[in-house]
Amino acid sequence: MNSPTTSTRTGDIINNNTPDNSNNNSNHENNIPDNSIPAPKTVVLAKKECPYCDNSYTTFQSARNHIYRTHGKEVERRTKSDQGNAVHVYNKTNIEKYNKARIKILVKFACISCTNVMNTKSELASHADSIHIVNNPSVQQLPTDGHWIMQQEDISLKFHHYKSLCIKNSRTTTFKIEDHFNELLSMSGILVLQKRYDYQSLPINIFPPTLLQAMRSNVISKYRRDTFNLQISSRLKTIIQQYIDEEMEETRAKIELLTLSEEATEDERCVINAIVALLSYIYDCDMKPLSEAHLAASYIHPFVHGLLSSKMPAKVAHCSNIVADENHDSNNRPDYKVDIYGQGYQYQYTNAYGEIKPHADMSPTLLVNDFYRLAIFCKDAIDRFNLNEVLAFQGSYFVMDNCTIRKFYPLIRKIECTGYRVMYLPPYSPELNAILGSCKEQDEA
C-alpha cells in the first residue's frame, strides 16, 4: 500500500516558498552546501536501504544487485528520465547541516526504481512488490505452436531450462563477460550459435555438440548467396585494377563503375556503390593509426552506406553514438545503425547495428563486450519492432597498404589466428559473392 506522502521529493522544503535545490544530476549522496540552505521549516531526507532488510547502499544499481542475489527478486531499474533526479540522502553530513540551520528533518525511505519515498520500510517493500518486481512469463504460459523443434528435441524448452539454470547460478556466482559469455547472453534470452560448436561453457546434457551443429546449419540454410554476373564481375575487377595501376583517374573510375551499375541487378548495384564510396578514402601512403572516429567516418560509413542504404524504401545507414530508439531507459549507444523509414516518411525501426574498434583500442574484453552489446541491441529491436531478424557487424581493423599479403599464406593464417579476418577488395578478391550475400541478408532482414 502506498503512503499518501509518496509524491514528496527528498530535499523538498515543506511550508516554504523558496525554490527547490534538489535538481542535481547525481544519483548518489547529495550533501548540501551551508550557503545553499534557506530558512525553511521542514526538509525530507531519504534513507537508501533495501526494502527487505537493513542493508544500506550507495547506488541504485548496487541495491538492485543486492536484492537479486540476496532476496531472489528482480526489480526494475530507474527510467532514464528519473536518473537525473537528485536524492537527498539521510546521512551524517546532511543531518548536521540541517540541524545547524534549525530545520526539522523528516526521514523517509527512497524507492530504488522510481522517485517516490515512503514513510516506513514495510510500505517501501509493498510498493516494490506491487509495482516494480519483474515477473517473466514461464515457458508453460507461452504458446506451444511457436516452439523450435529439431531432431525430435524441443529447443525452446531446452533453452528455457538453460536460461533458468544460469539465472539461478548468477545469484551465487559472479559472471565475468570474458569467461561466462554464453551464460550472460542466455539470461537476456539470447543463444549464440557458432561455427565452432564444441564449447564446454554450454552443458552437453542440454545442448550436445551435434545438436548445436544442426541448429546452426538449420539457421544458415534459410539464407542464400546470390552470385555476381560473371561479365559484370570481370569488368568491375578490370576497372579497379586500372585505377590501382594508375591507368585510370579516380573520377573516370567512378564514372565507369556507376555506368556499369546501370546494367547490374539491385543487389549487385549495392556492392558497386560501396566500392565507389571507398575510392575517395584510399590513399597511397603509410597511414597513421586510425582513431575510432576516423575508421567509422572514412571507411565503415562509406562502405556500409553504399552497401545497405536505399531510397525506396528509405534505408538510412549512419554513424550513431546515441541511445538506441528501442531502449530509451538504457545509456548504451551503438556506433553504427541502419534506420528504416516507411510510409508517410516516418521512422519505423532499426534493422542493423555496428560496433567499431580501431586496433589501438582493441582488447579481448572490449571485443567480447561489443559483441554482447550488439546482441542486446538486436534482441531489443526484434522484441520492440516485432522483426524476424536483425543484422549486426563488428568492425576491428588494421590496414596493410601496398603489400602482397594475398600471396603470403603463413602471414594470413597468423593474422587470422589473432582474431582478425582478412578481407580482399577487388581485384584480388576471387569472388564478390560474400559481400553480395551480406547485402541480400540485410535486405531480407
User: Residues 191-198: what's their mean pLDDT?
Assistant: 82
Q: How many helices (H) and strands (E) does the chain have?
A: 15, 10
Do β-strands 149-150 and 153-154 pair in parallel, antiparallel, or remain unpaired?
antiparallel
User: Residues 178-194: what's their mean pLDDT?
Assistant: 87
Residue 19 has pLDDT above 60, yes or no: no
**Residue at 400: amino acid letter:** M
**Could you tell me which residues are beta bridge partners of residue 109?**
47, 118
- Identify the weakest region by mean pLDDT among 216-220, 235-239, 318-322, 417-421: 417-421
DSSP H or E stretch at residue 276: helix 266-279
What does the pLDDT read at residue 22? Answer: 41
Q: What is the pLDDT of residues 123-177, one digit of tens each?
A: 999 999 999 998 776 666 666 677 888 888 899 889 989 998 988 888 888 888 8
User: Residues 188-195: what's their mean pLDDT?
Assistant: 87
**Residue at 281: amino acid letter:** Y
DSSP string, 289-302: PPPHHHHIIIIIHH
DSSP string, 1-23: ---TTTTPPTTPEET--SPP---
As a whole number of angstroms, the distance between CA 213 and CA 436 comes to 25
List CB contacts of 384: < 8 A, sequence separation 6 or more: 326, 327, 349
Residue 34 has pLDDT above 60, yes or no: no
Do β-strands 314-319 and 104-110 pair in parallel, antiparallel, or remain unpaired?
unpaired
As a whole number of angstroms, the distance between CA 344 and CA 57 comes to 49
Higher pLDDT, 322 or 17: 322
What does the pLDDT read at residue 276? Answer: 93
Cβ(148)–Cβ(218) below 8 Å:
no
Whether the model pTM is above 0.75: no
Q: What does the domain layout of the chain look like in residue ranges?
A: 42-132, 139-223, 287-396
Please provide the size of the chain in residues: 445
Q: What is the pLDDT of residues 325-383, one digit of tens each?
A: 655 555 678 888 889 888 777 888 888 899 888 765 577 788 888 888 899 899 988 88
Cβ(117)–Cβ(127) below 8 Å:
no
Cβ(124)–Cβ(63) below 8 Å:
no
What does the pLDDT read at residue 367? Answer: 83
**Residue at 153: amino acid letter:** E
| Banded model confidence at residue 239, pLDDT cuts 50, 70, 90 | very high
Beta strand spans in 136-245 (E): 149-150, 153-154
- Identify the weakest region by mean pLDDT among 76-80, 246-250, 337-341: 76-80
What does the pLDDT read at residue 123? Answer: 94
Q: What is the pLDDT of residues 251-281, one digit of tens each?
A: 999 999 999 999 998 888 988 999 999 888 8
What does the pLDDT read at residue 29? Answer: 43
As a whole number of angstroms, the distance between CA 285 and CA 54 comes to 64
User: Residues 196-206: what's their mean pLDDT?
Assistant: 79
What does the pLDDT read at residue 84? Answer: 54
DSSP string, 32-63: PPGGG--S-SEEEEEE-B-TTSS-B-SSHHHH
Cβ(278)–Cβ(290) below 8 Å:
no
